[in-house]
Structure 1
Amino acid sequence: MGRETKETEENRKTRHKMVVVAPHVSIITLNVNGLNSPIKRHRVAGWIKEQDPTICCLQETHLSPKDKHRLRVKGWRTILQANNEQKKAGVAILISDKVDFKAKQIKKDKEGQYIMIKGSLHQEDITLINIYAPNTGAPKFVKQLLIELKEDINNNTIIVGDLNTPLTPMDRTSRQKINKEIIELNEKLDQMDLIDIYRTLIQKQQVTHSSQVHMEHSQGLTIFWEPKQTSINTRE
C-alpha cells in the first residue's frame, strides 16, 4: 500500500508538472524505415502536417547527406539530419515554422545513428537528442552514447528515438529477455537521473489495454526521456 501510494503520488506530480506548462512544446517521433520512395515521403509529410507538432523526429531515413531536399515539408523549414553515405540508418529533426527556434550547437555522427541539437525555443534553452540504435549491440551503443554526451545532458534535455532494445517488461515480447547489457543501460539511466516520461504516464493505462496495443509499445520505437527536474512538455 505504501509503495503504491508513493508511485501514485509521483505520477500525479509528473502529470501536474506537464499540464502546468502545456502546450510549451510538442514532439512526435517515428521510425520511417526509409524515405527514398516519393509515395512514402508524401505519406510521412501528410502525417506530420496532420499531427502538427512543434518538433518531429525521424529515424531510419536511409537518406544520404545530399538528400536534405527530400525531407522538405511545408511549414517545417528547419531540417537537421545525420546521414550515412551508404544510405543506412539516418536520423532527422524537423522544427515547425510556428515556433521561434535558434540552433546554437549540433553534434552528429557520420553513421547516421544520432543527432543532438542545442538551441533556444521561445528564448528557453533546449537540448534534443534523436537516436537510432543499431540492430546489433543496441544497449551498449546507447550507454556509450549517453556517456559521450553526458556533459551536454541537463535539465532541459529530451531524448527520443528507436533504441532497438526492450528496456522494461512493458517493452519486450515473450521471447525477449532483459540481459546484462540492458541492465547496465538502465543503471546508467538511473545514474544520469533520466526518467522515461512516456511510460510514466501510460504505465497505469497499459494494464487495461489489449495485448495488441501492448505489442505496439513493446518494440521500444517511441521513447521520451528527460531529467526528472525538467519542465518541458512532450506528447506522442
Structure 2
Amino acid sequence: MQKNWKTSDKMATVGPHVSIITLNMNGLNSPIKRHRVAGWIKEQDPTICCPQKTPLSPKDKHRLKVKGWKTILQANNEQNKAGVAILISDKVDFKAKQIKKDKEGQNIMIKGTLHQDDITLINIYAPNTGAPKFVQKLLTELKGDINNNTIIVGDLNTPLTPMDRSSRQKINKEIIELNEKLDQMDLIDIYRTLHPKTAGYTFFSSTHGTFSRINHMLGNKASINKFKRVEIISSIFSDHNAMKLEIKYKNKAGKRPKM
C-alpha cells in the first residue's frame, strides 16, 4: 500500500503534456490538401494547432475540421487572401475567456485557461512587405494583453537574426527595431533561446535560392523554464516547415499525505 501511495504521489507532481504547432498552410482550397493537412495534424497530435494562410470564409469553417479538434477559431478577410486560425484539441481542459479577431485575417488572439493555468495565444500572419514594422505595430497595439503567460506564434515573414538566413546577411534597421521592441516587452525567440547555435530554417526561397527562418514562436522571459522543447518539422504540403513547442505545466492537484 505504501508503495502504491508513493507511485500515486509521484504521478501527482507530473504536469500535463501541452504542445503547440504553427505552420503556414499556403492555402486550403484543395480537398486533397485539406485531407492531407487533417491527417498530418492527427499524426503530430498537438494540443493546439495554429495555422496561417487559411483563406476560408466563415461559412467554410467546416473545411478546417479535424476529428478530435472541435474548438476552431479563425479570422479571415472578405477577399480570402490571408487567414489565421487556432484549433484546440478535445483532449485538454481549455476554457476561452476572450477572443480578438482581425478583420483582415492577419492575426487572432485568444485568452483563456489551459489545465487551470492562464494562457494567451496570438497567431500572426505578417504581410510579405513591411513585415517587421507590421509586427512591431501589432505588438504595440496588443501590449495590454501580453503578459507572462502569452505565447505568440506565426509567419512573421522576418528572420530575427543573421543566423536565421543561410546567406548570413546582416539584419536591417527595421528588424533591429523589432528586436528592441521584443526586448522591451520581455519577449524572447524561443527557438533561438533553446538553440543558440543551431541554424534551423522554415522557408526556402526559390527566387533567391536561400533558406531562412521566418516562422517564429515567442514567449515571455519569465516563462523560459516552462518551454521544454522546440523543433522544426518538415511538411510535404506547404513551402514552409512547421514549428512545434512542448510546454510543461505543474499539476495543481494536491499531493497525497505521506504516511
TM-score grouping bracket, smaller chain normalisation: 0.7 to 0.9
- 1:198 is displaced (CA, Å) by 1.6
- 1:24 is displaced (CA, Å) by 3.8
Q: What is aligned with 1:28?
A: 21
Q: Deviations over 1:38-58 (max 9, x none)?
A: 011111101100000100000
2 CA distance for matches of 1:219 and 1:113? Answer: 21
Whether 1:178 aligns to 2:171 is: yes
Indicate if the aligned counterparts of 2:162 and 2:169 stay in contact, CA closer than 8 A.
Answer: no
Q: What is aligned with 2:86?
A: 93
Whether 1:49 aligns to 2:49 is: no
Q: Deviations over 1:157-184 (max 9, x none)?
A: 0000001111111212428541111111
Q: What is aligned with 1:68?
A: 61
2 CA distance for matches of 1:102 and 1:215? Answer: 31
Pick the aligned partner of 1:120 from 113, 133, 141: 113
2:195 alignment partner, SS class: helix
2 CA distance for matches of 1:175 and 1:226? Answer: 25
Question: Aligned runs of 1:121-200 on 2, under 5 Å?
Answer: 121-174=114-167, 176-200=169-193
Count of residues in Structure 1 that have an aligned counterpart in Structure 2:
211
Distance 1:52 1:120, change over 3 A: same
Pick the aligned partner of 2:102 from 103, 109, 112: 109
> What code does the residue aligned with 1:106 have?
I
What fraction of aligned residue pairs are identical, expressed as a percent? 79
> What code does the residue aligned with 1:129 have?
I
2:164 alignment partner, SS class: coil
The alignment yields a C-alpha RMSD, in angstroms, of 2.1
Q: Where does structure 1 lack aligned partners over 5 or more consecutive residues?
A: 1-19, 208-212
2 CA distance for matches of 1:21 and 1:225? Answer: 25
1 CA distance for matches of 2:69 and 2:117? Answer: 20
2:163 alignment partner, SS class: coil
- 1:203 is displaced (CA, Å) by 2.4
> What code does the residue aligned with 1:171 have?
D
1 CA distance for matches of 2:168 and 2:185? Answer: 29
The structure with the greater share of residues assigned to strand is: 2
Distance 1:176 1:59, change over 3 A: farther
Q: Where does structure 2 lack aligned partners over 5 or more consecutive residues?
A: 1-12, 205-210, 231-243, 245-259
1:99 alignment partner, SS class: coil
The structure with the greater share of residues assigned to helix is: 1
Distance 1:220 1:229, change over 3 A: same
Indicate if the aligned counterparts of 2:54 and 2:83 stay in contact, CA closer than 8 A.
Answer: yes
- 1:222 is displaced (CA, Å) by 3.1
TM-score normalised per structure 2: 0.76
2 CA distance for matches of 1:219 and 1:21? Answer: 36
Q: What is aligned with 2:3?
A: none
- 1:62 is displaced (CA, Å) by 1.5
1:170 alignment partner, SS class: helix
Indicate if the aligned counterparts of 2:202 and 2:215 stay in contact, CA closer than 8 A.
Answer: no
